[in-house]
Amino acid sequence: MGRNNKKRGGRRGGRGGSRGDTRIDVVTEADMFNERLNSYYKKQQIIPDEAWEEFMQTLRRPLPTTFRVAGSRQTAKSINELIQNNYVPSLKDVLFEGQPIPPPEQLPWYPEGLAWQFNVAKPVLRKQPEFRKFHSFLVFETEVGNISRQEAVSMLPPLFLDVLPHHKVIDMCAAPGSKTAQLLEALHADDTATSTSIPPGLLIANDSDQKRTHMLIHQSARLPSPALMVTNLDASIYPIIKVSGGNSKRHTNQLLFDRILCDVPCSGDGTIRKNSGIWRKWQPGDGNGLHALQVRILVRAMRMLNSSGRIVYSTCSLNPVENEAVIAVALKTYPEYELVDVSSGYPELKRLPGLTSWTPTADKTAEKYFDSYQEYRDSLSSTDPVKLTEGHWPPSNAAGLNLTRCMRIYPHLQDTGGFFVAVLQKKQKAESDTKERKREATEPSDVPDAKKPRLTEESEDQIDVDVAVQLTEDAQRDGQKTPEEGDSKTISYDFKENPYTFLSSKDPILISCINRLKLTDDFPASNILVRNPGGDAVRSLYLTNDIVKTIILNNDYTRIRLTTAGTKVFAKQEGGKDGEAQFRVLGEGLPVVLPYMDRSTIMDSGVSTLRILLKAYHPACASFEEPFRSIGNHIFRVPSGTYGAVTLSHDIILPIWKSSVSISLMVDKKAKSALSLRLFGADITVAGLAAQQQKNAPAVEEPGVSMEGNEIEEVGASISKEEDESV
Ligand SMILES: C[S@@+](CC[C@H](N)C(=O)[O-])C[C@H]1O[C@@H](n2cnc3c(N)ncnc32)[C@H](O)[C@@H]1O
């Protein structure tokens, strides 16, 4: 096999598992072999024999760096042009220590060429001047949300979900949030380079892990949206969300979603190229143990979808027990669903069809297999634990389920990680199928349970997930404990988040914000909320769209942990000794408010003004021609056009704060660096210059972020890089 002892850093743990374990393993190439993994996957015949060696060799090679140009469509287009027209030409024909270094390339299957890949060693990024410059550009654009460092295969589920601005979407297992960002971008397809639309649709990003939910909030702050809600709940028992229905104010309906992403927790062996610790610890029990939870999350989603909706189920595992087996159990539970044939979508994407047969094992060493569940049960003594359920095996009607419509993306096909994607929808002829489902619901099925509903001993291995979910919903509707709650103390339905209070449109602070910016009458003032126990405008004002407002008004937040809703638009700014406190529009809120602002409140200026504001934190008022009339918050615009060597393809509109002596750009310092690099090709900010002055320190490499090799560094994050980087 030609393995040697070259060292590679690796991380432990699968995807969405073993949080908090940030230990870094040093994995030599000799370690990149695992007999259990080898024999298990050979047995499953996931790869044709003739491609097996190529597949295994690819697993041992580090993953190329991939990124996606993110943000609104127009911003993405101009950033992509910058990469295509400025950076890529400068990175062609680069030699490093005598060796040619290939420039970044577009992923052929990603729409509009917005996703890129390059395979460059760390020393090149650090020392080769052109690559170093490109690296700095990527780092800062990543910080401000214009670039998303994301594994190529991880970009697929949102593409297949096909989200439109009016869709109601839920991302069931969303953290750390790179797919959430893609979904949000699709919801915001009508945004322009300077202004954010208020989409009619909705995105709920949910994760059961509280710490990871906060990463989600941080990520999505890069694309502020009035249509976003973040919840922190167990997706397998996700509660009914109520919205107002009919004419009566008191009448509510269950919210059914148009699009649901189930990017479920999985064993993560498809990420082995980057998490090389998996080589050492992989064993079949990892996937076996997750199957139950994966089924429960998917069937919960199936109950929350509307009749014309679509679900994408995905994992970064190669294991059929976590993939086709989960789909098969879900389709058995809800026969009104079918797999969608998406083989003609993204034709440049190389993929193999889903499996129709596989053979699970409960044996840690992956040596002993049983062809059927019955054979497995017969092999157990009365004291042996029953680790597997019938659902771990292929169903007898596997061929009829069209499991080949699932997609398997293998690392050797196009130099990526491994991934599984399946698209589900309700069959069009729903009526006869509903009857079928009702009949099935009364019969025991073989769905295993992760958190067991109360059952009699005889029925323990025959849980009917349909009945369990129905009971959950009924109990929630009636305000009772769910079957999963039972008497257990582990699930608390008494969340104590700060309340969400919508301000009266007569609120004096809201009125002063509206008057100062001369917001037009159609500004949705009745959708402004605050979050504090008193319900007053104390510090921050958030804007939501109508559907988010309806959800907030019709649900009980002691039972739904809603972590955030809408986007922050105004915040209190102390006036210092010069003046009174004032609510100012925030940098992230400006694009949402901008379409409602009267043009007369925006002051035009040139690139030279922007240069002064970027070069110093608080340049003196005397440095400026005086367009800024009074102390406080102002919005200024540099119109598109050519300014000497600088050409702006679109306007730049930013908030500033004027005191009696100085003027400051109200944008965080990484965003300033990104803007400076984009405009002037160099970081002229205070922080950038300070970095340049540090001998041997990379000129613009801020502590906190790096894009070298395969990983984003997030200094200070308490979560491992592996988890932070989404797959
Ligand atoms: C594969 S990761 C999701 C990655 C994410 N979709 C992305 O693209 O950034 C799986 C996530 O599921 C979460 N998770 C695990 N069990 C869950 C449950 N029962 N309900 C909701 N989320 C769960 C984990 O915390 C983890 O963040």
User: What pLDDT is attached to residue 431?
Assistant: 52
User: Given ligand 1 and candidates 208, 219, 236, which is best to mutate, with the most ligand atoms within 8 Å of its CB?
Assistant: 208
Banded pLDDT at 476 (limits 50, 70, 90): very low
- Return the pLDDT at 71: 76
Q: What's the rounded Cα separation, in Å, for the pair 458 and 113?
A: 56
Name the closest-CA residue to atom 2, ligand 1: 16
Looking at ligand 1, which atom is closest to the CA of residue 219?
Answer: 9
Q: Which residues contact 185 (CB under 8 A, 6 or more apart)?
A: 70, 71, 72, 73, 76, 223
174 ligand 1 Cβ < 6 A:
yes
Taking residues 640-661, report their average pLDDT. 87
Count of other CB atoms within 10 angstroms of residue 398: 19
Q: Is the peptide bond before 619 cis (omega within 30 degrees of 0)?
A: no
User: Could you give the angle at the alpha carbon of 93 between the alpha carbons of 89 and 94, nearest 5°?
Assistant: 100
pTM of this prediction?
A: 0.85
Q: Give the ligand 1 atom nearest the CA of 315.
A: 1
Atom in ligand 1 nearest the alpha carbon of residue 264: 10
How far lies 724's CA from each of 150, 151, 206, 327, 564, in Å?
Answer: 10, 12, 16, 27, 20
DSSP state of 319: -
- 179 Cα nearest atom in ligand 1: 8
Confidence of residue 249 (pLDDT cuts 50, 70, 90): low
Please state the rounded mean pLDDT for residues 572-598.
83
Q: Is residue 296 within 6 Å of ligand 1 at its C-beta?
A: no
For 517, the 3-state DSSP assignment is coil
With bands split at pLDDT 50, 70 and 90, how would you rate the model's confidence at 625? confident
For residue 559, how far is its CA from the centre of ligand 1 (angstroms)? 20
Is 261 near ligand 1, meaning CB less than 6 Å away? Answer: no
pLDDT score of 2:
37
Q: Name the residue of 172, 182, 183, 207 to mutate for ligand 1: max ligand atoms within 8 A of Cβ.
A: 207
* Position 581 pLDDT exceeds 50: yes
Q: What pLDDT is stored for residue 579 in this prediction?
A: 64
Atom in ligand 1 nearest the alpha carbon of residue 19: 25
Residue carrying the six token digits 């999505």: 220
Instruction: Give distance in angstroms: CA of 309 to centre of ligand 1.
Output: 22
Summarised one tens digit per residue, pLDDT across range 195-217 is: 888 999 999 999 999 999 988 88
298 contact partners, CB below 8 Å, separation of at least 6: 262, 264, 311, 313, 326, 327, 330
Instruction: Give the Å distance between the CA of 297 and the centre of ligand 1.
Output: 10
Q: Active-site residue numbers? A: 316
- Please tell me if the CB atom of residue 46 comes closer than 6 angstroms to any atom of ligand 1: no
Residue 208 near ligand 1, beta carbon < 6 Å: yes
Ligand 1 close to Cβ of residue 701 (< 6 A): no
Atom number, ligand 1, closest to the C-alpha of residue 234: 20
Residue whose structure tokens are 């991939």: 66
51 pLDDT higher than 90:
yes
pLDDT at 287 exceeding the cut of 60: yes
Question: Alpha-carbon distance 344 to 215, whole Å?
Answer: 35
pLDDT in tens, 332-351: 999 999 999 999 999 999 99
Q: Measure the CA–CA gap between 418 and 425, rounded to whole angstroms.
A: 24
Residue 710: pLDDT above 70? Answer: no
Q: Which of 330, 345, 343 is nearest to 424 (CA)?
A: 330
Ligand 1 contacts CB of residue 209 (under 6 A): yes
CA torsion 227-233-234-235 (nearest 10°) is -10
Residue 164 has pLDDT above 50, yes or no: yes
Which band of pLDDT confidence, cut at 50, 70 and 90, is reported for residue 75? confident
In the three-class reduction of DSSP (H, G, I as helix; E, B as strand; rest coil), residue 148 is classed as strand
174 alpha carbon – ligand 1 mean position (Å): 5
Contact 581, 575 (CB under 8 A): yes
pLDDT above 50: residue 500: yes
Identify whether the C-beta of residue 610 lies closer than 8 Å to the C-beta of residue 623. no
Task: Report which ligand 1 atom has the smallest distance to the Cα of 154.
Answer: 8
Measured in angstroms, how far is the CA atom of residue 264 from the centroid of ligand 1? Answer: 6
Whole-number Å distance, alpha carbon 166 to ligand 1 midpoint, is: 25
Which pLDDT does position 144 carry in this prediction? 82
User: Could you please report the per-residue DSSP string of 372-396?
Assistant: SHHHHHHH--TTS-----GGGSPPT
| Distance from Cα 16 to the centre of ligand 1, integer Å | 5
Ligand 1 lined by 726 (C-beta under 6 Å): yes
Q: What pLDDT does 55 receive?
A: 97
CB of 15 shorter than 6 A to ligand 1: yes
Say yes or no: CB of residue 725 within 6 Å of ligand 1.
Answer: no
- Kindly report the protein residue whose alpha carbon is nearest to atom 17 of ligand 1: 208
Which residue's CA is the closest to the ligand 1 atom numbered 26?
16
Ligand 1 neighbourhood includes 173 CB (under 6 angstroms): yes
Question: pLDDT tens for residues 519-547?
Answer: 999 999 999 999 988 888 889 999 999 99
Q: Contact 84/93 with Cβ under 8 angstroms?
A: no
Is residue 263 in contact with ligand 1, taking CB distance under 6 Å?
yes
Mean pLDDT calculated for residue range 158-166 = 98
Distance 172 CA to ligand 1 centre (A): 7
Give me the pLDDT at residue 670, please.
85
The mean-pLDDT minimum among 168-172, 459-463, 468-472 falls in 459-463
Residue-wise pLDDT for 407-416, tens only, equals 999 999 999 9
Task: Please say whether the dihedral angle defined by the alpha carbons of residues 343, 345, 351 and 357, taken in this order, is positive or negative.
Answer: negative
Q: Is 207 in the pocket of ligand 1 (CB under 6 A)?
A: yes
Give pLDDT, residue 576.
63
Mean pLDDT of the chain: 82
- Tell me: ipTM over 0.95: yes
pLDDT at 466 over 50: no
Q: How many whole angstroms separate alpha carbon 264 and alpha carbon 16?
A: 8
Q: What is the mean pLDDT of residues 46-62?
A: 96
CA of 38 to the centre of ligand 1 (A): 27
Give me the amino acid identity at 667: V
Cβ atoms of residues 82 and 69 within 8 Å? no
Place 496 in a pLDDT band, splitting at 50, 70 and 90: low
Measured from the CB, is residue 68 less than 6 Å from ligand 1? no
Nearest CA to ligand 1 atom 15: 265
Closest to 364 (Cα-Cα) out of 599, 630, 35, 587: 35
Distance 251 CA to ligand 1 centre (A): 33
- Work out which ligand 1 atom sits closest to the CA atom of 293: 19
Q: Is the CB of 394 under 6 A from ligand 1?
A: no
User: Ligand 1 centre from 263 Cα, in Å?
Assistant: 7
* pLDDT, position 574: 78
4 pLDDT higher than 50: no
